């Protein structure tokens, strides 16, 4: 059962029609924390990376910040990203910075009804600009930000259940997404798979499962009663992501 705890925050984050006290364009805004934490990534049972994230709801826009750090391999790569969404669900701004081993930068912004991706392979090189014929509501799915999958799950639940998540059985839905690191867009199929009984951190729990599929991608997300993602599995890559 998709429970209603946390629903008001999720819906305020995703579905508000009007933002009171909007900040001026480009201004920084400190918002109310909706979720934060650390996802631990394991491959074949071995810990390989972590994502530290924070999701905030502000008056004018909401912000998802993420820092991904690989713990294995040469250079021990690290990336930082910021995604800003308007109360209507439209993209306000996204930027991604390679911390190490390189200095690549990506930015995605709407302008004149289009979405533009600016790619800088290595600072201080001049960026290349690529216009994208995508709706402004297209969800950004950073390759290294598992927290973006949580936001997509919230959007699906809010849309499918018309704001009333208690006792809801969400139907199938499709969402267009942009993967900036791959310079590609795709259609993601989302399905509510019901309740699963799993053992997490040594405790048996009943969790809501949502499945994401796109082309050769197959992800399963488990959400707790507060609609927070606590586990993600990518079977084809023998990868598991668990909230610490």
The structure's pTM equals 0.88
Domains by residue range for the chain, with CATH: 7-16+31-243 (2.50.20)
The answer to whether the beta carbons of residues 175 and 190 sit under 8 Å apart is: yes
Name beta bridge partners: 239.
Answer: 43, 234
pLDDT tens per residue across all 244 residues of the chain: 665 444 555 555 554 433 333 333 444 456 899 999 999 999 999 999 999 999 999 989 999 999 999 987 666 899 999 999 999 899 999 999 999 999 999 999 999 999 999 999 988 888 899 999 999 999 999 999 999 999 999 999 988 887 677 788 899 999 999 999 998 999 999 999 999 999 999 999 999 999 999 988 899 999 999 999 999 999 989 999 999 9
d(CA 134, CA 137): 8
């Amino acid at each position: 059962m998709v429970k209603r705890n946390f629903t008001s925050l999720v819906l305020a984050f995703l579905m508000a029609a009007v933002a009171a006290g909007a900040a001026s364009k480009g201004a920084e805004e400190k918002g109310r924390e909706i979720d934060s934490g650390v996802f631990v990534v394991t491959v074949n049972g071995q810990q390989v990376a972590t994502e530290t994230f924070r999701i905030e709801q502000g008056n004018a826009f909401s912000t998802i910040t993420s820092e991904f750090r690989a713990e294995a391999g040469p250079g021990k790569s690290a990336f930082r990203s910021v995604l800003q969404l308007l109360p209507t669900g439209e993209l306000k701004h996204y930027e991604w910075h390679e911390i190490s081993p390189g200095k690549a930068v990506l930015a995605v912004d709407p302008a004149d009804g289009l979405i533009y991706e600016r790619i800088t392979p290595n600072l201080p090189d001049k960026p290349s600009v690529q216009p994208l014929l995508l709706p402004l509501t297209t969800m950004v799915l950073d390759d290294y930000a598992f927290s973006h999958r949580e936001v997509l799950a919230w959007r699906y639940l809010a849309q499918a259940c018309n704001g009333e998540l208690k006792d809801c059985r969400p139907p199938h839905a499709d969402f267009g997404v942009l993967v900036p690191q791959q310079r590609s867009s795709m259609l993601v199929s989302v399905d509510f798979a019901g309740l699963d009984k799993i053992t997490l951190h040594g405790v048996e729990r009943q969790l809501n499962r949502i499945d994401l599929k796109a082309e050769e991608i197959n992800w399963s997300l488990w959400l707790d009663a507060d609609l927070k993602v606590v586990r993600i599995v990518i079977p084809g890559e023998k990868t598991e992501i668990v909230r610490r």
